[in-house]
Each structure stands twice: as structure tokens, then as C-alpha cells.
Amino acid sequence: MTVVEWDPRLETGIDVIDAQHRRLFEAINDLADSFKSGQALEKSRDSLAFLAQYSVEHFQTEERFMRSMNYPDLASHRVEHVRLVSKLQTLQVKQDKGYLVTADVAMFVADWLSHHIQEADMGYVRFTKAIGKR
Ligand SMILES: [Fe+2]
């Protein structure tokens, strides 16, 4: 099940970040797919674990990038990252306790990521252009 498709309007023009965003979209779709499988619990646990871990890695990449150019909105941007990571980690804990994580989690993350890219991420893209880094 594809819950989210890559949209060229989400391109930041920064290769490493676009590649990671695309990989996150794949991970979200994998999570959505996992619920249909015969081993739904096991697969959704693996998919959620990957999504949570890859989100951390991706956010670290972005935060390093923002820090490298003294981006003034880094702190508020980081708050958004921390919130999503904590939400995903809470879901992992719940899942370990037997709570059934369902496809609406994949829809939520898809929606969150699309909005985050278009609003927060595009903020640092504009900044790189404004300071002549791109
Ligand atoms: Fe971000």
C-alpha cells in the first residue's frame, strides 16, 4: 500500500537530504505494507524500528547542516524533530507491550513528514539561498 508518493515539490535541491527524504517515504510505505502481511506484528515491529532509527539519522544530518551555516531557526526546527522521534519511540514501547500499531500511524507520519518538509525544511532551503550557499 502506498500511503505517500514522492512529490517533486518536496525536493530541497540538496542531494543528500532529498535522498534521505525519499528513503523515509519508502520506510513509511513499508510500514503501511507490513500490516497486510501474514506476520503483521513481526514485520510492523521491524518496519517501525527502521523508521524510528532512520528518522534519527536523517534529523542528525539536517541538524548538522543547519548548524554548519548557523541557521537561526535551528532550535525550533529541532523541537519538531524531537517530537516526532519521541512519538515513534513511544509507539515502539507500546508495541512491545502488545499495543497494536495500525496503518494510521503510517498515514500520520506521511502527513507529518510532507508538512514538515514543505514548511520547516524549506525554511533552511530559503536560508541557504539567501546567504548565497546555493
Ligand atoms: Fe527537518
Rounded to whole angstroms, how far apart are CA atoms 111 and 109? 5
Give the domain ranges of the chain.
13-130
Q: Could you give the CA distance from residue 44 to residue 49 in angstroms, rounded to a whole number?
A: 8
Pinpoint the alpha helices (H) of the chain: 15-34, 40-68, 74-96, 103-116, 122-130
pLDDT at 113 over 90: yes
Taking 80 as the threshold, does the pLDDT of residue 77 lie above it? yes
Centre of ligand 1 to C-alpha 42, Å, is 29
Superfamily per CATH, domain 13-130: Hemerythrin-like (1.20.120.50)
Question: What is the reported pTM?
Answer: 0.93
Q: How far apart are the CA of 38 and the centre of ligand 1, in A? A: 34
The pLDDT of residue 2 = 82
Largest CA distance in the chain: 52
Distance 81 CA to ligand 1 centre (A): 6
